[in-house]
Amino acid sequence: MKVFKFGGASVKDADGVRNLASIVNRYNDPLVVVISAMGKMTNAFEELVQAYFEGNGIEEHYNKIKDYHQKIVADLFDESENDLLDEWLEIIHLKLETEPSLNFDYEYDQIVPFGELMSTFIVSAYLNKIGWENNWIDIRKILRTDDLYRSAGVNWELTSRLMKEVFSFDGDKRYITQGFIGSTDTNLTTTLGREGSDYTGAIISYALDAESLSIWKDVPGVLNADPRWYPKAQMLDELSYWEAIELTYYGAQVIHPKTIKPLQNKQIPLLVKSFIHPDNAGTAIKATEQNLQLPPIYVLKRNQTLLSISPKDFSFILEENLSEIFEVISRHRIKINLMQSSALNFSVCVDHHKNIDAVIEELSNHYGVLYNTNMELVTIRHYTQEAIDEVMENKEVVDSQVSRKTARYVMKGSEWSFNE
């Protein structure tokens, strides 16, 4: 069996759903199809949760979500079926009429998942209507997690067992289900973190020992840079798991970072393919010899803050200092993208985050802290001198770290231009 994953961009309107149908129709394999919320609906649901929490503007946000889905339903089905989503909309509306608890992350997970639930409900019904028979599965019954809302951890053993039972391919051949969501053992809905549907695809593939996981995207595959930034970006036909893990670690956004490891553990190939040109091979991420000849691969992370930390008493930066600094940073849920230490100074490049001020304040008790905002972090894997020169042109580099395979530069944010 195979697992397919379609993201929000692939089902942003009725034509998207029809296109998805034409893609799955080409396959005669037993399939589990994982689908995200439609278009930008997860963002819309996030705004709704905010409104619900603040008790302000709920109807407006709810109506926006309702109208968006109703339009797609009206485009895909006969008038007699326009009530397809009524039950879902009713459940959402009832929830919005209750008082929110004090736990924002919990409330988020009780509301945002309706994006995935309605999206898959629509697509499954449409596919059944056009004769592509499938079973709609509420994945919350089988993808079991802890209760770390918005960033839930998977109970692998239980999930694998339940998935094997429910996706039994016993009598039925295809299933449609949700990405991104799960539930605790007390049946409270959880989410795996933004863009987590890729990860769901990997979890299912792992549990069912899938032949492959295909992620269908609006790009031709994995490119060696983001083409919106670097116009000369080119396709990579093949990558090792190892390389893919490195790239997502450095911030390449093509696949969710947690996706690769479960696949690697079972040596399941990951195919990144275009839903616009489904005949093209895309990129295969799989077990390969370590020494694939790869061109330089560029990852740009914008909006970085560089913190430069030194002990006030001029003592050396020692293990105790470092562990204290890490503790403060991690407690504020800030992710370190690059770190560098010298005798009297420790610097970290982090994603800009609302908690940075609090970190600086806390650290200022024992340390002198300087910081620079609006930095950019460029990573070049498999760098060449030429690649470095090109990226550095007209840039002011503030910090750098170069190893055998990887060169990384923290530079002041400014306009980018490349000679085509």
Q: Which stretch binds Mg ion (CB under 5 A): 8-16, 21-29, 251-259, 303-311?
A: 8-16
Looking at the Cβ atoms of 115 and 311, the one nearer to ligand ASP is: 115
**Among the listed residues 3, 5, 8, 337, the single contact to Mg ion using CB under 5 A:** 8
Which H, E and C letters describe 30-68, residue by residue? CEEEEECCCCCHHHHHHHHHHHHHHCCCHHHHHHHHHHH
200 counts as binding Mg ion under rule CB under 5 A: no
Q: How far is the CB of 7 from ligand ASP (least distance, A)?
A: 5
Q: Which residues are near ligand ASP by CB under 6 A?
A: 7-8, 36-37, 42, 115, 179-180, 194-197
* C-beta of residue 396 within 8 angstroms of C-beta of residue 412: yes
Half-sphere exposure of 68 (CA within 13 A, CB side): 21
Q: How far is the CB of 181 from Mg ion (least distance, A)?
A: 11
**Identity of the residue, 272 or 411, whose beta carbon is nearer to ligand ASP in the bound complex:** 272
Q: Which is nearer to Mg ion, 197 or 264 (CB)?
A: 197
Residue ranges in 18-37 that form contacts with Mg ion under rule CB under 5 A: 36
Report the residue number, 10 or 379, with the smaller CB distance to ligand ASP: 10
Q: How far apart are CA 223 and CA 227, in angstroms?
A: 8
Q: CA dist 158 to 32, 143, 167, Å?
A: 19, 8, 14
C-beta of 160 vs 259, nearer to ligand ASP:
259
State the binding partner of 16 from Mg ion, ligand ASP, none, CB within 5 to 8 A by kind: none
The sheet with strand 174-178 has its strands ordered as 135-137, 174-178, 31-35, 2-6, 212-217, 270-274, 283-286, 238-240
- Choosing among Mg ion, ligand ASP, none, which partner's interface includes residue 282 (Cβ < 5 to 8 Å by kind)? none
Among ligand ASP, Mg ion, none, the one that 194 touches (CB under a kind-dependent 5 to 8 A) is ligand ASP
Q: Name which of 36 and 347 has its Cβ closer to Mg ion.
A: 36
Q: How far is the CB of 379 from ligand ASP (least distance, A)?
A: 23
DSSP 321-349: HHHHHHHHHHHTTPPEEEEEE-SS-EEEE
Residue with tokens 């090109």: 390
361 by DSSP, 3-state: which? helix
Token pair of 380 as six digits: 């070049």
Q: How far is the CB of 32 from Mg ion (least distance, A)?
A: 18
Residue numbers at the binding site for Mg ion (CB under 5 A) = 8, 36, 42
